[in-house]
């Protein structure tokens, strides 16, 4: 079918060993020989069979990308970033989605993975630190994104500070009844972002002398629908909020729509701040916490490839990076309806 290394060797009148060396740019090949081999290879349109070479070299030249799902804005952006830098280096990327709760176990049981990938970017780490530790112990190069674990480099956000910033913006505008739309109620993963964001929310309230009202903290599932349902619940409360901090822009968008359908003006009657800076947020004028998701994906890939590089694995200390976030004030936040009423 297609040319093998032997065909090239024959065409260039050298041994397969020399072809292998010449083609991979290894030293100790005479320049004239290398040229001859290169010519023969391109003449025959030879490309090394990846499986054969990976078997022989005992490296898969593949990095796995494990994430809870793909198809959401956040994960797609992340994927995009990772893929871009990984592909540029000749590695393959093997996506692995662990949808649902069983997915995580599947992931761990799928030890084929261990033989398939040289390294792994684990996103939103729906894994126990122990489990991650086991992976590291098993010799898989690992970078985590969204959760910090001591054994491996990570990229995270200062979620608490970011949330504090968002909510302070709200208190600064005079809001006293501020709701938070957060993660999933019965967290099947111990995903820390929603927890940390909730802490930042509490921080900011406390700083403004406000006691958090449990009725104002509702789960939103990080989805449009979840945000909408959450808002529904908030509006049904006896004393509805004048402002909402949604832990993702998608939830914010869903929530805003419900609010507007209920006749509330945003920001006139209700202020809304989101988290992410989703592509559409700029067009909706959503005030939000901006983060560069694609950039984080790229960075994670770079870290991983660094680990994989012949030189990198050794002495380097595992680095924990905190990606920057900032508050983007647009047009969905403003003073509460009757600010003075709240202060008497």
Partner DNA sequence: GGGGTTGATGAAAGCGTTTTCATCCGTTAG
Partner DNA sequence: CTAACGGATGAAAACGCTTTCATCAACCCC
> Which residues form the interface with DNA (CB under 7 A)?
1, 4-6, 13-18, 20-21, 23-24, 27-30, 32-33, 46-49, 52-53, 55-58
The answer to whether 104 contacts a copy of itself (rule: CB under 8 A) is no
Q: By CB under 8 A, name the one of 30, 35, 52, 329 that touches a copy of itself.
A: 52
- Please tell me the count of residues contacting a copy of itself according to CB under 8 A: 52
The answer to whether 224 contacts a copy of itself (rule: CB under 8 A) is yes
**Partner touching 136 among a copy of itself, DNA, none, CB below 5 to 8 Å by kind:** none
In angstroms, give the least distance from the CB of 95 to DNA: 23
Rounded to an integer, what distance in angstroms lies between the CA atom of residue 220 and that of residue 50?
Answer: 45
3-state secondary structure the chain: CCCCHHHHHHHHCCCHHHHHHHHCCCCCCCHHHHHHHHHHHHHCCCCCCHHHHHHHHCCCCEEEEEECCCCCHHHHHHHHHHHHHHHHCCCEEEEEECCCCHHHHHHHHCCHHHHHCCEEEEECCCCCHHHHHHHHHCCCEEEEECCCCCCCCEEEECHHHHHHHHHHHHHHCCCCCEEEEECCCCCCCCCHHHHHHHHHHHHHHHHCCCCCCHHHEEECCCCHHHHHHHHHHHHHCCCCCCEEEECCHHHHHHHHHHHHHCCCCCCCCCEEEEEECCCCHHHHCCEEEECCHHHHHHHHHHHHHHHHCCCCCCCCCCCEEEECCEEECCCCCCCCCCHHHHHC
In angstroms, give the least distance from the CB of 44 to DNA: 10
**Partner touching 30 among DNA, a copy of itself, none, CB below 5 to 8 Å by kind:** DNA
Question: Site residues for a copy of itself, window 292-331 (CB under 8 A)?
Answer: 294
Cα angle 319, 325, 328 (rounded to 5 degrees) comes to 170
In angstroms, give the least distance from the CB of 157 to a copy of itself: 19
The answer to whether 107 contacts a copy of itself (rule: CB under 8 A) is no
**Partner touching 263 among a copy of itself, DNA, none, CB below 5 to 8 Å by kind:** none
In angstroms, give the least distance from the CB of 288 to DNA: 48
The answer to whether 80 contacts a copy of itself (rule: CB under 8 A) is yes
**Partner touching 72 among a copy of itself, DNA, none, CB below 5 to 8 Å by kind:** a copy of itself
Give the pair of three-digit tokens for residue 90: 């000749």
The answer to whether 284 contacts a copy of itself (rule: CB under 8 A) is yes
Judged by beta carbon, residue 33 or residue 302, the one nearer a copy of itself is 302
Question: Site residues for a copy of itself, window 129-148 (CB under 8 A)?
Answer: 139
Residues of this chain that interact with a copy of itself (CB under 8 A) are 1-2, 45, 47-52, 54-55, 60, 69-73, 75-77, 79-80, 83-84, 87, 92-97, 99, 111-112, 114-116, 139, 224, 228, 250, 253-254, 256-257, 279-280, 282-285, 294
């Amino acid at each position: 079918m297609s040319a093998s290394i032997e065909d090239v060797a024959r065409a260039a009148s050298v041994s397969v060993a020399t072809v292998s060396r010449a083609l991979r740019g290894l030293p100790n090949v005479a320049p004239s020989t290398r040229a001859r081999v290169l010519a023969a290879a391109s003449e025959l349109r030879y490309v090394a069979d990846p499986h054969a070479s990976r078997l022989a070299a005992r490296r898969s030249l593949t990095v796995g990308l494990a994430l809870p799902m793909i198809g959401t804005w956040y994960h797609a952006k992340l994927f995009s970033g990772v893929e871009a830098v990984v592909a540029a280096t000749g590695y393959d990327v093997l996506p692995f989605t662990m949808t649902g709760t069983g997915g995580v176990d599947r992931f761990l049981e799928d030890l084929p993975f261990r033989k398939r990938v040289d390294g792994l970017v684990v996103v939103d780490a729906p894994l126990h630190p122990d489990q991650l530790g086991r992976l590291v112990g098993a010799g898989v190069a690992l970078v985590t994104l969204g959760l910090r674990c001591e054994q491996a480099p990570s990229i995270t956000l200062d979620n608490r500070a970011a949330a504090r910033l968002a909510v302070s913006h709200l208190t600064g505008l005079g809001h006293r009844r501020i709701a938070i739309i957060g993660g999933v109620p019965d967290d099947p993963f111990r995903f820390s972002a929603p927890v940390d964001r909730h802490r930042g929310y509490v921080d900011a309230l406390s700083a403004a002398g406000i006691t958090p009202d449990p009725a104002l903290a509702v789960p939103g599932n990080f989805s449009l629908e979840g945000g909408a349902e959450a808002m529904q619940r908030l509006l049904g409360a006896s004393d509805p909020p004048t402002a909402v901090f949604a832990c993702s822009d998608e939830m914010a968008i869903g929530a805003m729509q419900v609010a507007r359908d209920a006749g509330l003006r945003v920001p006139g009657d209700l202020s809304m701040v989101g988290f992410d800076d989703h592509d559409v947020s700029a067009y909706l004028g959503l005030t939000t916490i901006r983060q560069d998701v694609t950039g984080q994906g790229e960075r994670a890939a770079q870290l991983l490839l660094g680990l994989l590089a012949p030189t990198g694995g050794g002495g380097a200390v595992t680095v924990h990076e905190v990606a920057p976030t900032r508050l983007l004030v647009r047009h969905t936040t403003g003073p509460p309806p009757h600010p003075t009423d709240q202060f008497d």
